[in-house]
């Protein structure tokens, strides 16, 4: 699948990598599974799922970060996505970068979301040098909320919000917001190997260092400044929607 260079991340059991054409069919099956999509506004048919993959690839090209395809290292099986994205709506906490995941139901219960999510956070907070990463879901999504808490994100009930892309009265309009600052991450993750790069970072990384004041930025539009503000957009594209778990 064509697109910009995507950094590969390796954890103890997983590989976070670029998207491939062979991922389309299993990803469509994930997006059609009612268990996986329980807290989404709707499931996706094959055309909508393929369109989402195209948006994910475009997101990497535009921002220099995005949602990785996740495979089990021991088997090579594709199990879904984990990664970083910019929410496509305005709220009190936006603009921001969100960590999210969507894994096949048969991959639940093994700690994969936590393992891959930690790698994505490490990339965002250490390589991109983001000031903060957030995550959000509906109150009833206890699985994802547990992952957020295991990753060190914390909720303040005062930050809970109604998703502006959903109409009044929609059963999943209310969302809970979790946050993790760069300083809190560094305090609790000073050492560790989760999310090590499986090879040198190339392409956008080298260019970014010439365009951005962040310590170790990736992608010239990927960074937030140390004050937490992002560069002004050069034109909007359709986003892959809030990655729900």
| pLDDT for the residue 2 | 62
| pLDDT for the residue 188 | 86
Is 194 in contact with 151 (CB distance < 8 Å)? no
Q: How confident is the model at residue 218 (pLDDT cuts 50, 70, 90)?
A: very low
Q: How far apart are CA 195 and CA 40, in angstroms?
A: 28
| pLDDT for the residue 5 | 86
Mean pLDDT of the chain: 83
Q: How far apart are CA 231 and CA 217, in angstroms?
A: 13
Stretch 189-215: mean pLDDT, rounded? 43
In sequence order, the β-bridge partners of residue 5 are none
Token pair, residue 150, equals 């295991």
Query: What residue ranges do the domains of the chain occupy?
Result: 9-190+203-211
User: Over pLDDT 90: what percentage of the chain?
Assistant: 71
For the segment(s) 9-190+203-211, the CATH number from 3.40.630.30, 3.90.1150.10, 3.40.50.300, 3.30.1330.20 is 3.40.630.30
Q: How far apart are CA 18 and CA 23, in angstroms?
A: 10
Q: Where are the alpha helices (DSSP H) in the chain?
A: 24-32, 46-63, 112-122, 142-150, 182-188, 204-211
Selected residue with higher pLDDT from 209 and 36: 36
Q: How confident is the model at residue 41 (pLDDT cuts 50, 70, 90)?
A: confident
pLDDT in tens, 167-188: 999 999 999 999 999 999 999 8
């Amino acid at each position: 699948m064509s697109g910009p260079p995507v950094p590969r991340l390796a954890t103890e059991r997983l590989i976070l990598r670029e998207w491939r054409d062979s991922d389309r069919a299993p990803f469509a099956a994930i997006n059609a599974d009612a268990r996986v999509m329980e807290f989404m506004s709707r499931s996706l048919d094959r055309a909508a799922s393929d369109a989402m993959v195209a948006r994910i690839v475009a997101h990497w090209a535009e921002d220099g970060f995005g949602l990785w395809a996740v495979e089990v290292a021991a088997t090579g099986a594709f199990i879904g996505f984990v990664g970083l994205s910019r929410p496509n709506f305005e709220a009190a906490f936006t603009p921001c970068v969100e960590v999210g995941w969507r894994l096949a139901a048969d991959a639940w219960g093994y700690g994969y979301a936590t393992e891959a999510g930690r790698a994505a956070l490490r990339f965002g907070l250490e390589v991109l040098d983001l000031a903060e990463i957030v995550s959000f879901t509906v109150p009833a999504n206890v699985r994802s909320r547990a992952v957020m808490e295991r990753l060190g994100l914390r909720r303040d009930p005062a930050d809970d919000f109604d998703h502006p892309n959903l109409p009044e009265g929609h059963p999943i309009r209310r969302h809970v917001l979790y946050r993790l600052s760069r300083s809190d991450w560094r305090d609790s993750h000073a050492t560790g190997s989760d999310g090590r790069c499986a090879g040198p970072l190339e392409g956008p990384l080298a260019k970014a260092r010439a365009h951005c004041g962040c310590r170790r930025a990736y992608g010239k539009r990927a960074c937030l400044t140390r004050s937490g503000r992002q560069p002004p957009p050069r034109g909007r594209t359709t986003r892959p929607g809030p990655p729900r778990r």
